[in-house]
Amino acid sequence: MKVSLIRHGKSEFTENKRITCSDFANWVDKYNQRGIFNEKYYPDDTLKNIETANIILTSDLVRSIESAKLLSPKVKTISYRLFRETELPYPFKFWGLRLKPNVWAVVLRCLWFCGVTKNCESLKEAKKRADRAAELLVEYAQEYNSVAVVGHGFFNLLIAKSLQNKGWSGQRKTSTKHWFSTTFFQRK
């Protein structure tokens, strides 16, 4: 059995001006509503994993759904909220501090790792959700043999760890780059 974790394509939403932390919530909403760029090149491993998948799962966010359709318009795709990216804690008032969105994402992720969970799930809750996602993937792998998930960078890392804890083997390092995949195997 085979499970491939693939990160979605790069978002079309490229607004990168400095914003406050309170504005970051609106930025995330816009990011979640936009589609992805159609690239000229996709990694060979990703294309191979999509081609050999008997079913493709995605998160219910546009960038994951569009990525799956772009990679394989003919294969059955099922979307689940379960596969969404881990959330970030916000909004906070940082004395009017204005940073680029990618910097806010790093700052807020660090706060999240330190246990700050304002308006979002905790790391412990995200790990439990990743365990549920991994269990679902195992069920699909038992039925379809080869499964691909088009999801999100950090949540894919948590799913990978859960699969490894369940005895699945694969690459040591899970890729978080857009369009890259990491594959896990288990013998029936």
**Does position 188 have pLDDT exceeding 70, yes or no?**
no
Secondary structure (DSSP) of 112-164: HHTT--TTS--HHHHHHHHHHHHHHHHHHHHHHSEEEEEE-HHHHHHHHHHHH
Mapped onto helix, strand or coil, the DSSP state of residue 139 is helix
**Does position 187 have pLDDT exceeding 80, yes or no?**
no
Whether pTM exceeds 0.85: yes
Average pLDDT over residues 119-140: 97
pLDDT at 96: 84
Quote the strand ranges of 22-137, DSSP E.
55-59, 77-80
**Does position 51 have pLDDT exceeding 70, yes or no?**
yes
Per the structure block, which two tokens stand in for 19?
């914003």
pLDDT at 133: 98
Q: What is the mean pLDDT of the chain?
A: 93
Q: Could you read off the pLDDT of 58-102 as tens digits, one per residue?
A: 999 999 999 999 999 887 789 999 999 999 998 778 888 999 999
Strand partners, 77: 56
What domains lie within the chain, and their CATH numbers? 2-185 (3.40.50.1240)
